Chains A and B, each alone.
Chain A
Amino acid sequence: MYGRGLLRGLAVTFKHFVNTYVDDLRFGMKKYSNPDNFESRQSTKAQGAFTVQYPDEKIAVPERFRYVPFLVMNDLDAEVEPGKDWCTSCGICAKVCPPQCIWIVRGTNPDTGRPVPEPEAFFIDIDICMNCGFCSEFCPFDAIKMDHDYEIASYDRTAEHIYDKDDLSKPFSYWRKIAPTTAYEEMQARGGWEHTDVVKARKKGKKPVKRKAPATNGAAAPVAEAAAVAEAEAPAQDDRAERVQAEREAALARRRARAAKSPE
């Protein structure tokens, strides 16, 4: 019979139409309104249409999801060196970056002119970043990680799309939060939750070396000396923590202001 194929097709379309509502009934007409049903809708058991109502609800991104990278720093409430960058400015991320969107100014001690293992400045041009994840894959210090924050649109690319260290830095606890499994694997590889250098120093039986910020630093003190003066300088450390905290808050305020400025 001519037209049978057409009728069959219409039957399938009708089935899909009905299935969408059958699914809805299964959830007690709360397919979308009850957030608990999200997981089931995103599983392999879903049938009919399984639309995600963006931006009211957002798809859950898996741990390995990668977007524009961020820099890991110590937590702001950490006991030792709060807010310290994990980056040692070794430059591997800048070298392995395929579109070359990472710029790093290597930190130097202003008095001696010798390089110190922390970046003086760190820029990522997020317009150029292609989210490949090589920087975080090849970083030997786990200091740069791929973020999950993909809502970064703005109105002025020339003013806002070169991220500096303030924009990029996020505390280590954030990384543990968005990627617990990966962070745990990395912890096992390093041997502890802290930065590789700290873990290594502890393994050698030494106290954690406290590197000082260039601003408060005198001469490049030998390792033993640094450990000795560490206690005496405890108030200075607090100072620094406060200063870092203030800087981060200012940066965050800038980000929020920026976000508020752009209409929804």
Chain B
Amino acid sequence: MVDQVAPDQSDLKVNDIENAIEVLKNKYPGVVTDDTRHGYQGVIVDKKRLIDVAMTIRDELGFDYLSSATAVDYHEMGEPDSDMEMVYHAYRTSGGSALTFKAQTPRDNAEIPSLIDVWPGVDFQEREAFDLMGIRFPGHPNLKRILLWDGFLGHPLRKDWKEAYYEQDHKPFDSRWPGGHVHRAEEKNIYGKNVAYPEDFDLSRLNDVSEEALYNSMGLGVDVQELSGDSMSTDRLIVNMGPHHPSTHGVFRMIISLDGETIEALEPVMGYLHRNHEKIGERNTYLHNMPFTDRLDYLSSMGNNLGYALTIEQLMATGARYKPPSYRAESIRVLMAELTRICNHLWSIGFLLNDLGAFFTPMLYANNEREKILDFFEATAGSRLMCNYMRFGGVYKDIPERIHSVANLVNDRVRDLDTMEFLSDIIYERLPRFLDEYEYYLSENEIIKSRCIGVGMLPADMAIAYSAAGPLLRAAGVPYDVRRAEPYSIYDELDFDIPVGIQGDIYDRYTVRMSEMRESLRILRQIMPRLEETKGESVTGNTQYAARVPIGESYGRVENPKGELGYYVVSAGDKKGTQNAWRYHIRAPSFINLTPLGQMSKGHKVADVVTVLGSIDIVLGETDR
């Protein structure tokens, strides 16, 4: 627990982590050692005692929330017996910074004990590390590929793995300039000739093999008749929802085993939209990644941009010539982040209502308001969804004085509005009026209440254990919000509350989102005068197109509308700094929030699973990456 009477919070937090590390080192001498590499934090734990140490971290030191678990491949960089490692970031739900701990293993025959018994939320993340990095986790009950399909050869995030259209390790590619004769990648490297399958993989039996493996993992390989209840004899039925189903919000598939109409087991299957964002990110320069982050959670691209900018700024700040963002730039960032939150929640509540059967009317009412916010994004950043607005140490451009559109070849319309007037109209008039009306419209509706209250329960202890984040966690009654727990940008000087739910059902998630929009408006009302005061300040940050970033690691996180969005970036190599990330990992809230989906749906009717999924609020661009 954080001591409330301490005079300086920031000092306390640093000492706190140091103390925790000291305790660990005393308790496990020789097992826990400091990570002494340049620019790295935390401790390295001997993998043989990893589970014991993790238990101590969770129970004795109180780091009950495992935010992120990911793997890094130090191919030809580290020692041969420890050139692959798992990196864990654990937090306290009472706030404070991360306790980072790592476990190392050789690349060949990589094996690290599973932490699933300590933090069940590590389930999907370990499967991801197995899938993309090829680390095995003894103790994991269901260790199989999660994003890629079974016929995939190799583990693509390993540094020696090359993709089908491989050109060079890093962008920019030499073929583009100065002798840039154009070619299409698929002409040089024809599809079909660049695909390899694992040795024991039989392509003709593809569907049988993978489906069988899936069903077996759900424990469905048994005789169904024997298991049905005595009172009423019902068959077990397997229903595949998705990948093409409107209720799944994208290409997402749920395999549901039903007893009558009641859900017995649910297994999410994902990866249909997988493009290995992280591998692309490691080929890119740091700046190149910025527009790619837009494509993660494409409903809240401003938030994604902000998280990435903060992460790289953490690294840049360790270098000599770093200028932090100006106050105006920070204000604009918060403005954008909060508008994004409203946009996202409008969308997600609208879609939840769609899932409940209120087809598109509430959704379109919400979209009317969202449209206005997107108009502002378009005038400022140049695009409605793919904003690509944040830069390292600032933003792309200041807010324009007028939202000005001229007639041209494509458009015969003219529009000329004052931007600040437009903004204050949205913030002070339209949105508050709309939220009142929307709440009046929906909150007391009997159908919504009877379908949502008591359905899809996720109690607080489970939410924390499963690393759930965002409205999902707060609806369970845990007041955990990164903006408060570890404030970034200028959130520490803003006045706002963290809305929480009571029992963690769908209705609580709905009310939490509603209240969060009101809190966002409260923040925006504090931002508006700051924008007026700081008029004229420069907002552009680092203007180099190939900036070097000092070596080290950094984990930056923001409270995105969908939950905690984290970026883990390793800059390794050249002592002068690097232009490309060695490792670029995203802790995607949409992905990790799906871990408890099976638990939440168990015992409910098949129609409820649609609303449960809708209440988690996922975007497949981020889930599948």
Contact = CB atoms under 8 A, between A and B. Distances in A.
A53 to B, nearest CB: 11
Contact of A104 (B180, B412, B422): B180
A6 B408 contact: no
A197 interface: no
Contact of B409 (A13, A50, A149): A149
A48 B612 CA distance: 31
Interface stretch (B104-112, B147-155, B188-196, B436-444): B436-444
Nearest to A107: B178
A38 B172 CA distance: 44
A100 B446 contact: no
B578 interface: no
A44 B172 contact: no
Interface in B412-461: 412-417, 422, 425-426, 429-430, 437, 440-449
A76 B409 CA distance: 18
Q: Could you say which interface size class chain B belongs to?
A: 35 or more
Interface of B: 171-173, 175-182, 184, 284, 287-292, 361, 364-365, 368, 372, 375, 378-383, 386, 388, 396-397, 400-417, 422, 425-426, 429-430, 437, 440-449, 545-546
21 contacts: A4-B444, A5-B446, A5-B449, A8-B441, A9-B442, A35-B412, A42-B375, A44-B372, A44-B425, A94-B177, A94-B180, A98-B287, A100-B176, A102-B177, A102-B180, A103-B176, A103-B180, A103-B181, A121-B180, A125-B182, A130-B291
B287 A96 contact: yes
B441 A9 contact: yes
B287 A106 contact: no
A49 to B, nearest CB: 8
Contact of B430 (A35, A44, A134, A148): A44
Given A2-B446, A65-B382, A133-B382, A60 B414 contact: yes
Contacts of A179: 406
B159 to A, nearest CB: 20
Most buried by A among B176, B184, B397, B449: B176
A65 B415 contact: no
B176 A62 contact: no
A16 to B, nearest CB: 7
Given A9-B445, A13-B361, A57-B412, A123 B403 contact: no
B361 A134 contact: no
Contact of B177 (A104, A137, A178): A104
Nearest to A137: B396
B180 A57 contact: no
A215 interface: no
B447 A64 contact: no
A16 B287 contact: no
Contacts of B443: 5
Given A62-B378, A65-B378, A98-B291, A149 B178 contact: no
Nearest to A91: B177
Contact of B368 (A6, A50, A62, A150): A50
B406 A177 contact: yes
Contact of B446 (A6, A42, A58): A6
A16 B378 contact: no
Interface in A3-53: 3-6, 8-9, 12-13, 16, 35, 38-39, 42-45, 49-50
Interface in A142-197: 146, 148-151, 158, 162, 177-181
Most interface-central of A9, A16, A57, A102 (chain B CB within 10 A):
A9
Given A95-B172, A100-B172, A132-B291, A63 B181 contact: no
Which A-B residue pairs are the 8 nearest by beta carbons? A103-B180, A60-B405, A5-B444, A106-B178, A132-B291, A91-B177, A44-B425, A60-B413
A151 B425 contact: no
B291 A58 contact: no
Contacts of B184: 125, 158, 162
Contacts of B180: 94, 102-105, 121, 123
A50 B370 CA distance: 13
Contacts of B181: 103, 105, 121
A42 B447 contact: no
Contacts of B425: 44-45
Of the candidates A62, A91, A133, the one having the most CB atoms from chain B within 10 angstroms of its own CB is: A62
Contacts of B368: 49-50
Contact of B545 (A103, A131, A138): A138
Nearest to A50: B368
A130 B388 CA distance: 11
A200 interface: no
A115 interface: yes
A118 B167 CA distance: 27
Contact of A98 (B178, B292, B406, B411): B292
B405 A104 contact: no
Given A42-B415, A44-B426, A96-B287, A123 B182 contact: yes
Contact of B413 (A4, A57, A63): A57
Contact of B405 (A3, A12, A61, A100): A61
Nearest to B295: A130
A102 B292 contact: no
Contacts of A132: 290-291, 386, 388
A178 B406 contact: yes
A43 B426 CA distance: 10
Given A103-B175, A180-B406, 10 more contacts: A39-B415, A39-B417, A94-B176, A98-B171, A123-B182, A130-B386, A134-B287, A134-B291, A138-B545, A178-B408
